[in-house]
Amino acid sequence: MSWETIVVSPHFDDAVLSVAGLLARREGNAAIVTVLGGAAGEELSAWDRLCGFASAEETARERRAEDARACELLGVDQVALDNPDVPAAKLPLDDLEAFLTEHVTARTRVLVPMGIGNADHEAVRDRALDVLEKVESAERWVYADLPYAAAVREWGSPAAGQALAGKSPVRALAERYRLGVEAPSRLEGAGWALKRRAVLAYASQIAPLASDHGEFLAMPGPLQYELVWALDG
């Protein structure tokens, strides 16, 4: 199967937090592919305990169900790879290469995370872009990772792209590609309401995210804005 839009999401929730509005406005069919979609292993992480889970298996099962609800709300297909939810830099991510090689065509727009604020996102980004250099896609976009990207004071303004240019993941990518930052999009009305419902589908994550990032779901607030870079070269 091929999709006109594929969003590469390191974890369940990353794509929806960052580009749910863009997905809702898309033309054609779309899929979110979650790379670290498997159980972490026998030991429960501190984050998963904060989310109220009792085992790694329960974590993976419930997060996949949450993701399915969010995808249904946005009208996109859910794809979850079975890589364990451990540091992505330690994984070969061969199934991500296989997925992109099989499903990306000259008509496919692919979005990958920039890697701001999370090493797993950066590792997934680099692996995905390495694969995309070997296959032909219509467009390659990189999205600002939320809520991490909203830490810059300029977030939500036309200066956000310039402010984020100083972040190490953006600088590293700019050494490999020409980055054309798009103007931040602002969600209002029905667009914001849909994104809010999709984000709330990840119910187990809301309290820990709020603990780390404050009023991240406020309106007006950081999730109201989305920013992407067009990749060239």
pTM of the model: 0.95
3-state secondary structure of 73: helix
Task: Determine the Cα–Cα distance for residues 191 and 184; give it in Å rounded to an integer.
Answer: 15
User: Shortest CA distance to 47 belongs to which of 198, 217, 212, 215?
Assistant: 212
Share of the chain above pLDDT 90, in %: 76
Kindly provide the b/e burial profile for residues 155-188, where b requires at least 16 CB atoms within 10 angstroms of the residue's own CB. Answer: bbeeebbebbeebebbeebeeebebebeebeebe
Q: Spell out the residues 6+ positions from residue 95 whose beta carbon is closer than 8 angstroms to its own.
A: 81, 82, 83
pLDDT digits (tens, 9 = 90+) for 155-191: 999 999 999 999 999 999 999 999 998 878 999 999 9
Burial class (CB in 10 A: 0-12, 13-18, 19+), 106: exposed
Task: Determine the Cα–Cα distance for residues 152 and 57; give it in Å rounded to an integer.
Answer: 36
User: What residue spans define the domains of the chain?
Assistant: 5-232
Task: Determine the Cα–Cα distance for residues 160 and 139; give it in Å rounded to an integer.
Answer: 22
Share of the chain above pLDDT 70, in %: 99
pLDDT of amino acid 116: 96
pLDDT of amino acid 73: 97
Question: CB–CB of 157/168 below 8 Å?
Answer: no
pLDDT of amino acid 42: 66
**Mean pLDDT estimate for the chain:** 93
Q: Is residue 154 predicted with pLDDT exceeding 80?
A: yes
Domain 5-232 fold is: Rossmann fold (3.40.50)
| Dihedral over Cα of 198, 29, 85, 21: its sign | negative
pLDDT digits (tens, 9 = 90+) for 62-77: 999 999 999 999 999 9
pLDDT digits (tens, 9 = 90+) for 19-53: 999 999 988 999 999 999 988 776 778 888 888 88
Question: CB–CB of 202/12 below 8 Å?
Answer: yes
